[in-house]
Structure 1
């Protein structure tokens, strides 16, 4: 993404976190994402291919062009696709904010945790699907001021890098302002407690807590929190994974038509 940095970086750990997130949230986010046979779909910002695998398997007769700026991420994505035996995906390196495709090239556009105005590439009558989280929607038991502050640091860091960690709540006005019709937004809440151990591990620990934990050095370096307070916040996050803990977070999925 031109002029923008990815706050979580491109480490192997981050690639693993994205895979855990995609695998854990497949049913919640993608059970109603399907594309007709013969459709040409742009996946903008495919990263390491965690979402690509899910999309391509769910719509095996559609053709996907998956684009990302990071060539290292694309190499991981291509490896993942080959290992899964998937043949309906083509990868391309490119800045999703400056793509050189003709207007109306695609039948559908898919964005997950990436949002910008890519509407001109969409053919008349085509659809756009956008999925974004909202870090301000996180709440948990036992509550912790330290854990809440670590989230605040992540939100602030993303804002400084040109991002918006609260974008989920803004999807309806953003998609409608892109002159899309029939816009629908549905909240997808993840509510995790000990009765759902797969989500305790896959979402609370390996997705959200790992995401926050990953920006700790930068937050401390910038003086946003003291090291001991930061570490207490992370311990408190892991505490919500205990037998009496609860962690809740909301994603938003928007669809619209050109």
Structure 2
């Protein structure tokens, strides 16, 4: 497989996954997007828009910006268009099916680029970031958001729950992707040639005092994500059925009234260097 060949999306394209992505984006909108807004008339490229779960929040925060949303999946793009149009019929969004390594845009066409939960699914994230510089004007900004599945800790502690999470990490790693990429954002982005790179953690801590987060993130986003790879984890021999079932049960235990769950996202902002 060449470095520019897309890796199959480990979570699949089911209706369940579409709902999970929506739950995730809506639950985390304030945490991840509160400080992201683009000026009126600016040209913004969203790479890997998927089903539009993040796109709706970008449009809501910057209604006068002009967005171009790109994804490799035609089916996901159709869902994204329907989602955004239903909520914001006057939104300035154009849609393109394309591989991010082969973007059909002119040099320096965009003022800003937004990338969310994409790099973890790539075998060559640094090369992808370098490729994006071509279509970003000098002085334009790059925003990247990624998770890190190794950042989880919870109560009650359970080695079985950690083993279930590690199954997803291993499944993503097998074809060359990286579920631990959040911790690597600064060196990745700087190594791709961007200036003024800043990375800040965005932590989610759920307990009974935050019932919306318990449902929206712990249950409907994170645990649902782990549960979705049961078949693949067992087929790969990464875990026994009994240990998997205990791990999932223990993850659900963290969402009980006396449980807690913690996860860290990382948000980076950088600048494309001015031409010499």
Give the TM-score range, shorter chain. over 0.9
Q: Where do residues 1-258 of structure 1 align in structure 2 (5 Å cutoff)? A: 2-86=5-89, 87-115=91-119, 116-117=128-129, 118-258=132-272
- Aligned mates of 2:6, 2:136 — CA distance in 1: 24
> Residues 48 and 71 of structure 2 are in contact (CA less than 8 Å); yes or no, is this contact kept in structure 1?
yes
SS of the aligned residue for 1:172 comes to helix
- Aligned mates of 1:67, 1:179 — CA distance in 2: 22
Q: Deviations over 1:121-174 (max 9, x none)?
A: 110000000000000000100011111001111001001122110000000001
Q: Deviations over 1:37-65 (max 9, x none)?
A: 11100000000000000001100110000
2:123 aligned residue: none
SS of the aligned residue for 2:114 comes to strand
Deviation at residue 81 of structure 1 after TM alignment: 1.1
SS of the aligned residue for 2:256 comes to coil
SS of the aligned residue for 1:97 comes to helix
TM-score of the superposition, structure 1-length normalised?
A: 0.98
TM-score of the superposition, structure 2-length normalised?
A: 0.92
Deviation at residue 97 of structure 1 after TM alignment: 2.0
Q: How much is the aligned-residue C-alpha RMSD, in angstroms?
A: 1.0
2:125 aligned residue: none
> Residues 6 and 99 of structure 2 are in contact (CA less than 8 Å); yes or no, is this contact kept in structure 1?
no
- Aligned mates of 2:134, 2:174 — CA distance in 1: 28
Deviation at residue 2 of structure 1 after TM alignment: 3.1
Name whichever of 166-175 and 82-91 sits farther off. 82-91
Unaligned runs of 5+ in 1: none
